[in-house]
Amino acid sequence: MIDFTSCRVIQGRAYNGANGSKIAVEYNGTVYMLKFPPSAEGKTAELSYTNSCISEHIASSIFGMLKIRAQETLLGNFTVKGKVKLVCACKDFTVGGKRLLDFCSIKNTVLDSDSNGSGTELSDVMDTIDKQQYISPKLLREHFWNMFVADALLGNFDRHNGNWGFLYNDITGETEIAPVFDCGSCLLPQADNKIMEKVLSDESELHARVFQFPTSAIKLNGRKINYYDFLSRAENEDAREALKRIVPRIDTEQIDEFIDKVQGISDLQKEFYKRYIKARYDLLIRPALEFAITEGTKNF
């Protein structure tokens, strides 16, 4: 495990986000944001995010395996007041004159939007994507739905408007889609060892976490989207096309091999993550692709 404790802390760089402390450090000549797990004090097991750093690293790496540009991450340790904490180091992609513009900020620039920047109603998000002038709407739609399918695979319950967006270069005036970041809400970060053991030993517990929850942060008619219900209906053409793009890139054996090599986590955690991802692939993602292909054939 990498020990980041002795790394130079870079002053003047601060990061948003509600879950856990964040600092900037220099490691091997590169700037990284260190994400610390939130304190579990005063929280129930259901509300703590003590595994969020692990989720961040594994999920970000899987996004990369799916050929969706994502932040580069490392797992390591950092000692605070004599206590060693597991941290996720996220390579800072805002260096070199680039500035992150989250989708929430972009949404606020669309004056005739049906809601404010934080609104996640699907129709309003799509309307903003079509009306914003930073990135090609076609490319941005593809990116959004690629993220949606990957988040469905990984069980992300918190892909809101504040944790995806663009990079604007203040020097050149150019804009690009930002790497996917803030993936700590994937892979059931609130699950402790007791919950992991229950999910691994009871199929009904596993199925509940595939078919019922977690839901997406994106809403349809005012309700958070259930990934299984939405994708299995195959009604949304953009979602169908994203499934056709992304699912062939999913290699569960490659994912398993990666998880087996992750340092600093227990065998129970490794087995849980592998089983959880495989279940969501077998029961949700792969059938959804079959529905998408069938629906596309009907329309043709």
Q: What is the enclosing helix (H) or strand (E) of 148?
A: helix 137-154
pTM here?
Answer: 0.92
Residue given tokens 């609130």 in the structure block = 190
Q: How far is Cα 146 from Cα 158, in angstroms, rounded to an integer? A: 16
Q: How far is Cα 223 from Cα 96, in angstroms, rounded to an integer? A: 40
Q: How far is Cα 215 from Cα 241, in angstroms, rounded to an integer? A: 21
* Fold of the 2-91 domain: Phosphorylase Kinase; domain 1 (3.30.200)
Q: List, edge to edge, every strand of the sheet that includes 8-9.
A: 2-3, 73-80, 83-91, 30-35, 22-27, 8-9
Q: What is the pLDDT, as a whole number, of residue 43?
A: 47
Q: Residues in the chain with pLDDT < 50?
A: 42-49, 300
* Residue 191, Cβ density class (10 Å: 0-12 exposed, 13-18 middle, ≥19 buried): buried
Q: Which are the contacts of 194, defined by CB distance < 8 A and separation ≥ 6? A: 45
Q: How far is Cα 226 from Cα 231, in angstroms, rounded to an integer? A: 8
Q: What is the pLDDT, as a whole number, of residue 278?
A: 98
Q: What is the pLDDT, as a whole number, of residue 18?
A: 58
Q: How far is Cα 78 from Cα 87, in angstroms, rounded to an integer? A: 7
Q: What is the pLDDT, as a whole number, of residue 177?
A: 97
pLDDT digits (tens, 9 = 90+) for 143-156: 999 999 999 999 99
Q: 206, 284 in Cβ contact below 8 A? A: no
pLDDT digits (tens, 9 = 90+) for 223-249: 999 999 999 999 999 999 999 999 999
Q: What is the pLDDT, as a whole number, of residue 116?
A: 74
- Cβ count within 10 A of residue 135: 17
Cis, bond preceding 214 (omega within 30 deg of 0): yes
